[in-house]
Amino acid sequence: MRVFIAGAGLIGAAAAWRLAQRGARVTLADAGPFGSGASSAGAGMLSPGGEFDKPSVWFDLGLEAMRMYPAFLEELRAETGIPIDFAQCGCMHFASPEQARARAGFQCARGLRVEFQPEGLFYPEDAFVDPADLLRALRRACESRNVAIVENQPVNRIESADYDAVVIAAGAWSAQIAVTHCGAPVAMPPVKPIKGHLIGFDLAPGLLGAMRRRGHTYILQRSNGFTVAGSTEEDAGFNTEVNPDTCREIHRQAAELFPPLAAAQPAKCWTGLRPFAPEPYIGRAASGNVWLAYGHFRNGILLTPLTASRLAAEIAA
């Protein structure tokens, strides 16, 4: 079976690996370098409880995906030997008692572990992963299974009848690709970029412990001490410029969550473009042998193992 995947972010790369494991001959093509989109920019929180305050498809997918992570990473490490920074450190979510009760009610009913604390909710199952490590491991796993990785070549149009299956996984750019099946256009559901700023600090390892979050402000610390604080949601097209005022505001809010940050200077500030859609598109397009794997918005790192397994199971069935 010959599969063509447009987009080598976490979603495309994980799908390529899973399909190659099932014996598919996969081409994975990216407009830029491997993993250069939102995937390398993301913080890597695996935290459905903090993300969703109402029942939704997102929450259900996120919970399932979070629980797939340990085995997913174990398999990747075993195949590649590449270390992947991952810690199930939990997350303290600061919220008023009313907000906490409303949020915890539906989340507990769906099976998420939630602990009430005086300042809000603690999610003991929450974890983080370093997306840069994950990208490195997925690249190695793809290479060792003979996935053809093509970089710096935008896919502007693609005829899916030339392959057994085509997967569109180009993140915020997915709907720009003109896809046809036997000459007939295949409808691509809309997606748009939502920019996010992040800032990072070089701190002593072990300083933070559990992740902390209030609203959309959060901090996590990687095992090497690098501490990430975010973030914003900006409807600014494909502009990826870093705005120093925005970074200062994130710094101020993050220091309220974790006072030692007030005296620290960010070592790095960066942005990324989240692929926004009302719900993630994970499955077959309306026509043709085309699969959609985009629109994961704020949770594409979390949803990577689930998306890849579902697509591979459907395509290689």
Ligand X SMILES: Cc1cc2nc3c(=O)[nH]c(=O)nc-3n(C[C@H](O)[C@H](O)[C@H](O)COP(=O)(O)OP(=O)(O)OC[C@H]3O[C@@H](n4cnc5c(N)ncnc54)[C@H](O)[C@@H]3O)c2cc1C
| Footprint of ligand X (CB under 6 A) | 6-12, 29-32, 36-39, 41-45, 154-155, 169-171, 173, 177, 196, 198, 230-231, 272, 274-275, 294, 296-302
Q: Which is nearer to ligand X, 96 or 239 (CB)?
A: 239
Q: How far is the CB of 220 from ligand X (least distance, A)?
A: 8
With a CB cutoff of 8 Å and minimum separation 6, the contacts of 81 are 140
Based on CB atoms, which residue is closest to ligand X, 50 or 288?
Answer: 50
**Minimum distance between the CB of residue 228 and ligand X, rounded to whole angstroms?**
8
β-pairing verdict for 120-123 and 165-168 = unpaired
Closest CA to 292 of 149, 191, 156, 192: 191
Beta bridge partners of 282: 293
Exposed, middle or buried, 42 (CB in 10 Å: 0-12/13-18/19+)?
A: buried
Please list the residues that pair with 218 across neighbouring strands.
213, 230
The 3-class SS string of 138-157 reads HHHHHHHCCCEEECCCCCCE
Closest approach of Cβ 299 to ligand X, in Å? 4
Q: Closer CB to ligand X, residue 8 or residue 87?
A: 8
Largest Cα–Cα separation, the chain: 61
Buried b (16+ CB within 10 A) or exposed e, 274-313: bbbbeebbbeebeebbbbbbbbbbbbbbbbbbbbbbbbbe
Instruction: State the nearest-atom distance from the C-beta of 289 to ligand X, in Å.
Output: 18
**Which are the contacts of 187, defined by CB distance < 8 A and separation ≥ 6?**
285, 286, 287
Q: Which residue has the tokens 């507990």?
A: 108
| CB closer to ligand X out of 105 and 305 | 305
The distance of closest approach from Cβ of residue 131 to ligand X in the complex, given in angstroms and rounded to an integer, is: 7
Find the shortest distance in angstroms from Cβ 193 to ligand X: 9
Identity of the residue, 96 or 311, whose beta carbon is nearer to ligand X in the bound complex: 311
Shortest approach of ligand X to residue 101 CB, angstroms? 25
Nearest CB to ligand X, comparing residues 49 and 300? 300
Nearer Cβ to ligand X, position 261 or 311? 311
